[in-house]
């Protein structure tokens, strides 16, 4: 099977600078946090880069391929193909298909097909634990209402606000600059060192261009302290909770999208 993608083997240079030209609200039609609009005909790619070496690890393609129904709900089927670039890239249980819907107010996860050992397993919104793993409805309106408030030492405290926006930044990826709302998503929970944090930079038209995952320093099995294991990784401190830049693989990765490098995808496939 042919393989063609637009991403360079080494991650483009990235600079992130806070902007005084504030974005207080935007519309995000994409699934949180997969860079695809769940509407028939949409096509997206994202590249995963090692944060330390900047080398390309994997490329993921997502296509909205057909209309579908899950438990009598209309939706679209999203085909997911992941191509490993590094030989050591292996994420057990990687999704094969998504089922999701989009309306004027929200995107909604309805089902996920996972590869589990030799079996393909369909999980839907009616299964126990589905919402905790994938969420159900996510409102398209993303706002910065002052929930995250900076402290003089560079950490943040939360207010009683509910928005997940966390400041406005100009993000330069290679030679392209995007005016972005930064998002910190704690997935509906208060800040906790035993849970994860998603950081996304969304440009004004509503597409994610840059994404990172963080683990609470005490998240996961055993007595691992991620801040001690990865002292040089980027860290975010919210309400005294320390989040360390690393994801489910136990390593730190940077994800950039085809939007970030200004590539129109029709004709690209693998």
**How many residues in the chain?**
270
**Upper half-sphere CA count for residue 247 (Cβ side, 13 Å):** 16
In the block, tokens 């993303």 appear at 142
At 102 the pLDDT is 93
* CA–CA distance, 119 with 99 (Å, rounded to integer): 18
Is 238 within 8 Å of 251 (Cβ atoms)?
Answer: no
| 48, 42 contact by CB (below 8 A) | no
pLDDT at 159 exceeding the cut of 80: yes
Q: How confident is the model at residue 268 (pLDDT cuts 50, 70, 90)?
A: very low
* pLDDT, tens only, 110-141: 999 987 777 888 999 999 988 888 877 778 99
Task: Over range 20-40, report the average pLDDT.
Answer: 94
State what percent of residues in the chain have pLDDT above 90: 71
pLDDT tens track for 186-234: 988 889 998 999 999 999 999 999 999 999 999 877 778 999 999 999 9
For the stretch 170-182, pLDDT in tens is 999 999 999 999 9
pTM of the model: 0.92
Query: What are 44-84's pLDDT values in tens digits?
Result: 999 999 999 999 999 999 999 999 999 999 999 999 988 88
- Bond into 171 cis (ω within 30): no
Q: Quick one: pLDDT at residue 96?
A: 85
């Amino acid at each position: 099977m042919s393989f063609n993608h637009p991403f360079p083997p080494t991650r483009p240079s990235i600079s992130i600078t806070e902007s005084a030209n504030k974005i207080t609200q935007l519309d995000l039609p994409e699934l949180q946090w997969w860079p695809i609009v769940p509407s028939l005909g949409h096509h997206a790619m994202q590249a995963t880069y090692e944060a330390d070496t900047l080398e390309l690890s994997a490329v993921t393609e997502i296509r909205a391929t057909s209309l579908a129904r899950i438990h009598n709900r209309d939706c679209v089927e999203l085909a997911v193909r992941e191509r490993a670039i590094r030989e050591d890239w292996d994420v057990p249980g990687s999704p094969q298909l998504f089922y999701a819907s989009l309306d004027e107010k929200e995107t909604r996860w309805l089902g996920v097909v996972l590869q589990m050992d030799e079996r393909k397993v369909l999980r839907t919104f009616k299964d126990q634990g589905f919402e905790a793993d994938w969420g159900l409805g996510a409102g398209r309106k993303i706002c910065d209402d002052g929930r995250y408030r900076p402290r003089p030492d560079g950490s943040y405290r939360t207010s009683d606000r509910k928005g997940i926006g966390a400041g406005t930044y100009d993000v330069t990826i290679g030679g392209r600059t995007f005016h972005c709302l930064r998002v910190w998503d704690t997935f509906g929970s208060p800040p906790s060192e035993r849970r994860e944090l998603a950081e996304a930079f969304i440009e004004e038209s509503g597409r994610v261009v840059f994404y990172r995952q963080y683990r609470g320093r005490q998240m996961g099995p055993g007595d691992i302290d991620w801040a001690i294991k990865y002292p040089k990784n980027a860290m975010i401190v919210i309400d005294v909770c320390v989040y360390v830049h690393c994801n489910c693989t136990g390593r730190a990765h940077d994800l950039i999208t085809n939007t970030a490098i200004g590539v129109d995808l029709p004709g690209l496939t693998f």
